[in-house]
Amino acid sequence: MRTLLTSWRGRTRAALAAAALTAAATLAAPPVHAVGVAPPVLHDGFGLTQVAEGAEARSDTDFTVTVTTGQVSGPHRIRIFLPSGYRASPDKRWPVAYFLHGGGGTVDDAGAAPALHADSMITVVPDAGLKSWYADWQMQNTSVGAANWETFHLDQVVPFIDANLRTLADRSHRTVVGLSMGGFGALHYGEARPDLFGHVASLSGGIDFGMAEVRAAVLATELNVTGAWCAVSTSSPAGTGRCTGYGPTVDSDAIFGSPYPVLGADRIWNAVDPAAPANLARLEGAEVTLYTGSQGPIDHFTRIATKNVKARLDALGLPSRLVDYGDGSALAPTCDGGHNYGCWAPALADYMDRLGRAR
């Protein structure tokens, strides 16, 4: 099935470069086990079993648990940021934000955006593998094994968090925000479960499956196509070896089936397309925020996808906020308008601040 990607390469070099839009930077330091720190005790449930040796604590408000589930193969980490006042106010309940990392990333990418560790809410960062695309895969017998990521996150992680932490467990106090591949995940989850999320935000997201360039991004992760563009799409300097790709190669139809728009073969792509008006209509009543830059071969395409979504939301009469920071000069000195945490960190700071004040 590798020939599928070859045909997509023929579109343009830019289309292939856009396949890197899922790559996310890994800026955080290795896990630190803080002496004397005792994070909250979480109890198993909702199909999740904790792995004792997988617990990590950086502080009493920044810790990670590791869980296993029948929905996705292997152990998976969930990083949690608590507000500084969580322990001091034992009767208080808090809003929750779910942060979805990008392709090739980990839960520790969240350390690259300090604003995610907010005093106004709990932030939960669930593992999404290297190329999950936040979906229940069509193929469950690939080299990565079981891959029901959407079920894992929405039917297991969300109720697990609500049962173990003092959350405000309603849609008006629950947010999903993601970048790159996670930007797709955020918009898709908001559409798939409008009962869960009243706030939805996508940063530089692959959010229009009607674009060949975005479909090429999914194919590149399935086939683990890496190269020079893989390095430049992360914040790791070229040659450091930190741009390690997307894990084992799987069939190019593994996640969403055939990508070819021939005789309805791509029906699953169309069904989950976040930019489809029927899906966007499910965001009625949610606060939707979209961020994108315009520079480089990746955000050039995320900008098109983001503007497509914004235009369709407008046509549906659904309010949304678009922040097109272009070359980044008006956003932050660290932002060059590209697909990196130099832009995403200040964009997340803007979003989390607005979200906290709105609540």
Condensed to tens digits (0 to 9), the pLDDT of residues 184-234 reads: 999 999 999 999 999 999 999 999 999 999 999 999 999 988 743 444 434
CA atoms in the 13 A half-sphere facing the CB of 104: 31
Q: What is the pLDDT of residues 121-138, one digit of tens each?
A: 999 999 999 999 999 999
Sequence spans of domains, the chain? 3-358
Q: What angle do CA 8, 274, 158 make, to 5 degrees?
A: 120
Please report the pLDDT score of residue 245 as a whole number.
81
CA atoms in the 13 A half-sphere facing the CB of 161: 30
Please report the pLDDT score of residue 105 as a whole number.
87
pTM of this prediction exceeds 0.85: yes
Burial of 38 (0-12, 13-18, 19+ CB in 10 A): exposed
Q: What is the pLDDT of residues 6-52, one digit of tens each?
A: 444 444 333 333 334 433 333 433 444 555 567 789 999 999 999 99
Q: Which amino acid appears at position 209 of this protein?
A: F
Residue 297 — very low, low, confident or very high, per pLDDT cuts 50/70/90? confident
**More confident position, 113 or 33:** 113
Q: Can you list the alpha helix ranges (DSSP code H) found in 38-77?
A: none
Mean pLDDT across 79-84: 97
Place of tokens 């791509």: 266
Instruction: Please tell me the distance from the alpha carbon of residue 258 to that of residue 338, in angstroms, as a whole number.
Output: 30
**CATH 3.40.50.1820 describes domain 3-358:** yes
DSSP 150-195: HHIIIIIIHHHHHHHS-B--SGGGEEEEEETHHHHHHHHHHHH-TT
Q: Are strands 174-179 and 199-203 parallel, antiparallel or unpaired?
A: parallel
Please report the pLDDT score of residue 21 as a whole number.
42
pLDDT above 80 (res 242): no
What is the CB neighbour count within 10 angstroms for residue 7? 11
Of 167-176, 178-187, 226-235, 238-247, where does mean pLDDT reach its minimum?
226-235
Q: What is the chain's mean pLDDT, rounded?
A: 87
Please report the pLDDT score of residue 40 as a whole number.
86
Of 92-96, 222-226, 290-294, where does mean pLDDT reach its minimum?
222-226
Compute the radius of gyration of the chain from its Cα atoms: 19
